[in-house]
Every structure is written in structure tokens, then in C-alpha cells.
């Protein structure tokens, strides 16, 4: 039975670069996939494209492609990525420039376009998960991108693409596309597509299945995280899956690392909604068959819903923040005094905030006061953050924290402040017929 | 005994919803986890952090539970003022849950 080997070269936009090179060199791969789009990333990329029409794709695309294109060409490894973000065609053109610069001719690069549905969604009564409609957000809306499926990726590969660059494709679809192209899986073979989604789900966060984000010594020690190896999925034509990694790289693949990633960002494991299928992970089995080789079986699936999720990016005011540290005897008491002073100052000076938080990092910032009650920290960090309607108003928050230097409790140090506009994300569901994807093929 | 002694955990996020897995190190402990790590106990443990519903999904085939907590991320990752806007550290809080010793069962 045929098997294909798919490597995961990145699990998020800023991920390490050299593990992908190691995979391309020594992974005996057929495909190398880079998953680089978070919930908000497309909205931010859309902002970048508005400023410069040639921009709007992943900021690390150039560095990643420079690092892997030559070795992928030499080893016959095809690349699939969502680094196109808000501008897949621009990303394809940038990739062509890199290929030519590296002396790689006749490299076929496909851009998958059509996930951008802003013009169709803007001003409509499309309902949002946060309540209200797209129309209700008015001119605060900056982007609307549909999570597209594996179909156009598989089609681009079947047309001979060496590199496929998408925008807001669903993360597992980046892996399901190659499987459909490789094995000719029917697009209504729901159990098989469910198995393919599981492969994609386990691989899409790269190092999170090979021991990254897992270490918790002494209960869960992991060796050599500075050289963490990224995963390889060996997928058989019948959907049977083994997760492994390059021999000698850092981290490990065990039943435990696979189980943690299996449930990562999953709600009902029997109904994991994807563009191509409703995947069912509820009866999956995980088995260590050799060191760093874990066999995963039992995934299934049911018919897709015909609906696609759309992420709507919208301007949501400004957040200002300031921090300052206190240490030694009485650190927490001085930190709490500092918080009270800032709270009073923001009120006295009339800073208008719709929401605010006053944290003592080291005591209560992550889980509230209850969980840290028995704990007297040697050092604490005061953190005040608030939401305001304007940049200037939001900036006042950090400025008030900074003035604690000369006006607040003794020994405050390391003050820091920042102000940013918030692009928030709401989601909606649209009929898949509203989203028309297309492929643009260019060649170096 | 703490939950951390017999299980491991990872948090994921989607919008304002957090999911927290509880996975037995030894699959033989699954029924013990199922009995003691209940929706009620998890809700009480997180107190005011969770403003919505707590739902538990059971995965006997891998010896794991999956908790889904709505309204747990202070408005959602993309707009929250929280230091840990993703709620990534919630798994560590859950692992401090007290469990009875198995011998006392």
C-alpha cells in the first residue's frame, strides 16, 4: 500500500526556521507544509496590504523560502503553505523572485485565491458569534476571510505545482490537500477525509506534537528542546497514520505528546467541523510502535455541513498598558499600593476606559487572587491595562504607570509602556457557494 | 494527591472559549479521573474565571477527558486585556486540583 510522508515546517507565523530545513534535508519527505496563520493574522495582513498593495503576506515568507526552496527542489519535496495571508498572489511572486535568485528555473508556484469575502460580506446582515451583524460593525470592519478547504490545494498539486500558497485555508486542509492529490481520495469519502483531518490536526502545530509545549519537569522532562525536531506524518493510502520525526533531532514523539495535541483546540471530539468534512476523533487509538514512532488509528468522519467559517476583523478601540516591578521585603504590598495609586490617578485625571485590569504579576495576574493566596513572592510586577476609544486616551494608562518612578512606592524599577490599536475577530458561517476559490499558476 | 500526579493537560483556545484536556499518564486511571474530575469540580476550581458553561467530553479510547469552558477568556483572544489572553496557563491551574488517594477508595 502506498504511503506519503508530510513534514510540518512551522506551527505559527514566528516559528523557528531551521527545523524545516532539517526536515527537507533528512526527512525523506514528499511534502513540507508551513502553517502560519492565526485567527487574527489575516486581518493584520490586510492592514499591511492597505498600506502597500505588494505586501500583506507573511513577514517571514522570504526567510523561510530562501532557507528551504533549494533543498526542496533538490529532494523533490513539494511545499504547501498559508503564508499568502491577505495576498497569496503577492506571496507567489515573491517566492518566484527568490527561486530565480537561487537559480531555480521552471519552479511552478500556485496561488489559491478567493478566501477574501470582504466585498460580499460588508454591510450585510450576516450574524456574528459575538452578537450583532457585520452591518452593525459598520466601517470598523477591516477584513472577512473564509476558511477554505483542501479542494483547491489538491487541484493545484494535480496541475503540477511545486509550491502552493493559500490565504485563509483551514489549517488541516493544508495537509488534507496533498493526501487527496496523492491518493485520489474521493471528496465524499467522509471517514477517509476524517482520517486525513486527524493527520493534519496532529501535524499543524509542528513542534507541539514532538515534545514542544509539553515539558513539565520532573513529571514530564523533554530532552534537547533547543534543537526540537518537527514532525513527519507517514500517511497510508487507507488513512492509517504514524507520527515520527528526524532521527537525532531534539524532543520526542510518544503516546502522551500525541494525545495532548489530539485534543488541542478541540471542543466536541466527535464533531470537529472542517470545510471538507465533520471529523470524528472520539474513538482514536494511539500506540507507541517504536521509539519516536506513534501509530494513530480510529478517526472517522461525517458529511460536511456545506457551511464555511468566516473570520471578520474589526477595529475595536485602543489598549494602553504599563508595567513596573517591585522586589524584596514587602514587594507585594508595594505593588498593591502602586495599583491603587494608578487606579486613583486614572480617575482623577479623567481617563475614559470602557474596561480595565489591575494585575500583580507574580501573585494574581493569570488566575486571580484565589490560586496565589498562600504564596509570598520575592518580586512582583504591576500591570495596568485598559481599553479606550482613542490612541491618546489609551496612552495615558501607561504614562500613569511610568510616573510611579518618582511618585509611587519605594523601589519601583523597569517601567514599560505600550499602546496599540486592537483588531478583534468575530466569526460567522456562510454557505460554501458564496466562496469562489481559484488557482493562479506562475513559473520561475 | 494532586491531579498533576496522575494526569497531564494542555489548553487550547477559540474565540472566548477555552478547552482543557485531562489525560491519564496511565490509561488504567481513566475511570478514577472520570469519577473525580467532574464538571462541578472543574467549575468550582476555576471560580470566577469561567463566566459561561463547562462541558465535559469523554475519550475512553485514549484515557482522557476534554473540558470546554465558554466565556473563559475575558472576551476572547483577539480583544482580551488579560496578560495570558489565550488562557494557555489554565491547564497548570487545573493540575493543582486535589484528588483523594487511590488507596482510600
CA distance A228 to B59: 29
| Angle made by CA atoms A432, A438, A444, in degrees to the nearest 5 | 150
Give the model's confidence band at A370: pLDDT under 50 very low, under 70 low, under 90 confident, else very high: confident
Q: Please tell me the predicted confidence (pLDDT) of residue A345.
A: 97
Give the model's confidence band at A33: pLDDT under 50 very low, under 70 low, under 90 confident, else very high: very high
Q: What are phi and psi of A82, to 5 degrees?
A: -100, 20
Which chain B residue has its CA at the smallest distance from A264's CA? B12
Prediction pTM value: 0.94
What proportion of chain A, given as a percentage, has pLDDT over 70?
99
Chain-chain contact of A269 with B78 (C-beta, under 8 angstroms): no
Q: Please name the residue that has the C-alpha cell 492597505.
A: A50
Under 8 Å between Cβ of A95 and A163: yes
The beta-strand segments (E) located in A52-198 are 78-81, 108-113, 141-146, 163-165
3-state secondary structure of A81: strand
Q: Please tell me the predicted confidence (pLDDT) of residue A74.
A: 98
Q: Is the pLDDT confidence value at A164 over 90?
A: yes
Q: Please tell me the predicted confidence (pLDDT) of residue B105.
A: 55
Asked if the C-beta of B100 comes within 8 angstroms of chain A's C-beta atoms, the answer is no
* Range(s) of the domain holding residue B47: 3-77
CA distance A174 to A33: 7
Q: Please tell me the predicted confidence (pLDDT) of residue A379.
A: 95
Q: Please tell me the predicted confidence (pLDDT) of residue B103.
A: 65
Q: Please tell me the predicted confidence (pLDDT) of residue A352.
A: 94
Q: The domain spanning residue B52 has which CATH number?
A: 3.30.70
Chain-chain contact of B12 with A256 (C-beta, under 8 angstroms): no
Q: Please tell me the predicted confidence (pLDDT) of residue A374.
A: 66
Q: Is the pLDDT confidence value at A375 over 90?
A: no
Domain-located, residue B89: no
Give the model's confidence band at A373: pLDDT under 50 very low, under 70 low, under 90 confident, else very high: low
CA distance A21 to A75: 12
| Angle made by CA atoms B5, A258, A297, in degrees to the nearest 5 | 125
Average pLDDT over residues A56-65: 97
Q: Is the pLDDT confidence value at B101 over 80?
A: yes
Q: Please tell me the predicted confidence (pLDDT) of residue B104.
A: 57
Of the candidates A355, A365, A370, the beta carbon closest to that of B83 is on: A365
**Structure confidence by residue, pLDDT tens digits, A381-438:** 999 999 999 999 999 999 999 999 999 999 999 999 999 999 999 999 999 999 999 9
End-to-end CA distance of chain B: 13
Residue A138 gets which letter from DSSP?
Answer: G
CB atoms within 10 A of CB A365: 20
Chain-chain contact of A256 with B25 (C-beta, under 8 angstroms): yes
Chain-chain contact of A385 with B81 (C-beta, under 8 angstroms): yes
Asked if the C-beta of A367 comes within 8 angstroms of chain B's C-beta atoms, the answer is yes
Give the model's confidence band at B77: pLDDT under 50 very low, under 70 low, under 90 confident, else very high: confident
Asked if the C-beta of B71 comes within 8 angstroms of chain A's C-beta atoms, the answer is no
Min Cα distance A119 → chain B (Å) is 23
Reading the block at residue A74, the C-alpha cell is 533538490
Enumerate the domain spans of chain A: 3-116+147-305+435-443, 312-427
Under 8 Å between Cβ of B58 and A263: no
**Structure confidence by residue, pLDDT tens digits, A136-146:** 999 999 999 99
Of the candidates A259, A367, A425, the beta carbon closest to that of B62 is on: A259
The DSSP bridge partners found for residue A79 are: A32, A163
Domain-located, residue B65: yes
**Structure confidence by residue, pLDDT tens digits, A247-261:** 999 999 999 999 999
Burial of A290 (0-12, 13-18, 19+ CB in 10 A): exposed
Please list every residue in chain B whose beta carbon sits closer than 8 Å to the beta carbon of residue A270: 57
3-state secondary structure of A19: helix
Under 8 Å between Cβ of A70 and A101: no
Structural domains in chain B (count): 1
Q: Among A259, A281, A287, A401, which would you mutate to test the B interface (most chain B Cβ atoms within 10 Å of its Cβ)?
A: A259
Min Cα distance A15 → chain B (Å) is 17
What proportion of chain A, given as a percentage, has pLDDT over 90?
94
Average pLDDT over residues A98-117: 97
Domain-located, residue B27: yes
Q: Please tell me the predicted confidence (pLDDT) of residue A367.
A: 86
**Structure confidence by residue, pLDDT tens digits, A332-362:** 999 999 999 999 999 999 999 999 999 999 9
Q: Please tell me the predicted confidence (pLDDT) of residue A177.
A: 98
The DSSP bridge partners found for residue A315 are: A423
Q: Please tell me the predicted confidence (pLDDT) of residue B102.
A: 76
Give the residue among A240, A169, A177, A231 at the shortest CA–CA distance from A206.
A231
Domain A312-427 has CATH 3.30.70: yes
**Structure confidence by residue, pLDDT tens digits, B45-75:** 998 889 999 999 999 999 999 999 999 988 8
Under 8 Å between Cβ of A91 and A46: no
Chain-chain contact of B76 with A424 (C-beta, under 8 angstroms): yes
Chain-chain contact of A286 with B62 (C-beta, under 8 angstroms): yes
CA distance A300 to A197: 9
Average pLDDT over residues A18-23: 98
3-state secondary structure of A164: strand
A267-326 residues touching B, CB cutoff 8 A: 267-270, 281-286, 298, 316, 319
Average pLDDT over residues A272-290: 98
Handedness of CA A331, A333, A336, A342 (dihedral sign): negative
CA distance A215 to A204: 19
Please list every residue in chain B whose beta carbon sits closer than 8 Å to the beta carbon of residue A283: 61
Amino acid at each position: 500500500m502506498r504511503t506519503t510522508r508530510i513534514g510540518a515546517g512551522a506551527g505559527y507565523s514566528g516559528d523557528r526556521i531551521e527545523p524545516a530545513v532539517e526536515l527537507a534535508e533528512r526527512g525523506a519527505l514528499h511534502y513540507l507544509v508551513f502553517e502560519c496563520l492565526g485567527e487574527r493574522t489575516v486581518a493584520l495582513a490586510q492592514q499591511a496590504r492597505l498600506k502597500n498593495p505588494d505586501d500583506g503576506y507573511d513577514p517571514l515568507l522570504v526567510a523561510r523560502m530562501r532557507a528551504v526552496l533549494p533543498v526542496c527542489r533538490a529532494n523533490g519535496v513539494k511545499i504547501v503553505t498559508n503564508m499568502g495571508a491577505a495576498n497569496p498572489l503577492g506571496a507567489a511572486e515573491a517566492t518566484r523572485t527568490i527561486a530565480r535568485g537561487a537559480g531555480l528555473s521552471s519552479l511552478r508556484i500556485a496561488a489559491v485565491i478567493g478566501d477574501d469575502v470582504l466585498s460580499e460580506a460588508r454591510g450585510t446582515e450576516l450574524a456574528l458569534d459575538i452578537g450583532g451583524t457585520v452591518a452593525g460593525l459598520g466601517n470598523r470592519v477591516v477584513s472577512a476571510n473564509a476558511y477554505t478547504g483542501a479542494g483547491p490545494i489538491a487541484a493545484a498539486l494535480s496541475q503540477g505545482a511545486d509550491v502552493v500558497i493559500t490565504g485563509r485555508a483551514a489549517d488541516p486542509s493544508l495537509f488534507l490537500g496533498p493526501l487527496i492529490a496523492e491518493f485520489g481520495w474521493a471528496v465524499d469519502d467522509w471517514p477517509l477525509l476524517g482520517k486525513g483531518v486527524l493527520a493534519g490536526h496532529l501535524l499543524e502545530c509542528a513542534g507541539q506534537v514532538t515534545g514542544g509545549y509539553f515539558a513539565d519537569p520532573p513529571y514530564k522532562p523533554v530532552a534537547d528542546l533547543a534543537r526540537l525536531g518537527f514532525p513527519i506524518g507517514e500517511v497510508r493510502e487507507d488513512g492509517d497514520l504514524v507520527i515520527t520525526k528526524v532521527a537525532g533531532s531534539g524532543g520526542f514523539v510518544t503516546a502522551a505528546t500525541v494525545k495532548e495535541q489530539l485534543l488541542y483546540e478541540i471542543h466536541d471530539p466527535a464533531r470537529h467541523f472542517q470545510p471538507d468534512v465533520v471529523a470524528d476523533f472520539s474513538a482514536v487509538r494511539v500506540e507507541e510502535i517504536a521509539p519516536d514512532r506513534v501509530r494513530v488509528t480510529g478517526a472517522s468522519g461525517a458529511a460536511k455541513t456545506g457551511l464555511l467559517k468566516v473570520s471578520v476583523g474589526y477595529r475595536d478601540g485602543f489598549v494602553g498598558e504599563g508595567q513596573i516591578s517591585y522586589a524584596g521585603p514587602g514587594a507585594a504590598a508595594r505593588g498593591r499600593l502602586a495599583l491603587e495609586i494608578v487606579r486613583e490617578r486614572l480617575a482623577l485625571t479623567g481617563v475614559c476606559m470602557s474596561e480595565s485590569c489591575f494585575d500583580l504579576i507574580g501573585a494574581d495576574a493569570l488566575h486571580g487572587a484565589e490560586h496565589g493566596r498562600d504564596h509570598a513572592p520575592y518580586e512582583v510586577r504591576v500591570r495596568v491595562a485598559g481599553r479606550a476609544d482613542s490612541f491618546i486616551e489609551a496612552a495615558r494608562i501607561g504614562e500613569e504607570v511610568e510616573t510611579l518612578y518618582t511618585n509611587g512606592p519605594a523601589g519601583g524599577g523597569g517601567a514599560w509602556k505600550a499602546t496599540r490599536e486592537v483588531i478583534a475577530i468575530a466569526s460567522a458561517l456562510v454557505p460554501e457557494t458564496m466562496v469562489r476559490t481559484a488557482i493562479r499558476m506562475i513559473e520561475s | 494527591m494532586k491531579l498533576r500526579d496522575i494526569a497531564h493537560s494542555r489548553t487550547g483556545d477559540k474565540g472566548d472559549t477555552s478547552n482543557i484536556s485531562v489525560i491519564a499518564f496511565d490509561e488504567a486511571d481513566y475511570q478514577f479521573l472520570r469519577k473525580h474530575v467532574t464538571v462541578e469540580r472543574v467549575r468550582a476550581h476555576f471560580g470566577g474565571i469561567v463566566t459561561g458553561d463547562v462541558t465535559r467530553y469523554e475519550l475512553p479510547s485514549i484515557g482522557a477527558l476534554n473540558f470546554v469552558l465558554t466565556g473563559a477568556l475575558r472576551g476572547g483572544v483577539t480583544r482580551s486585556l488579560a496578560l495570558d489572553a489565550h488562557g494557555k496557563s489554565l491547564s497548570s491551574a487545573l493540575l493543582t486540583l486535589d484528588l483523594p488517594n487511590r488507596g482510600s477508595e
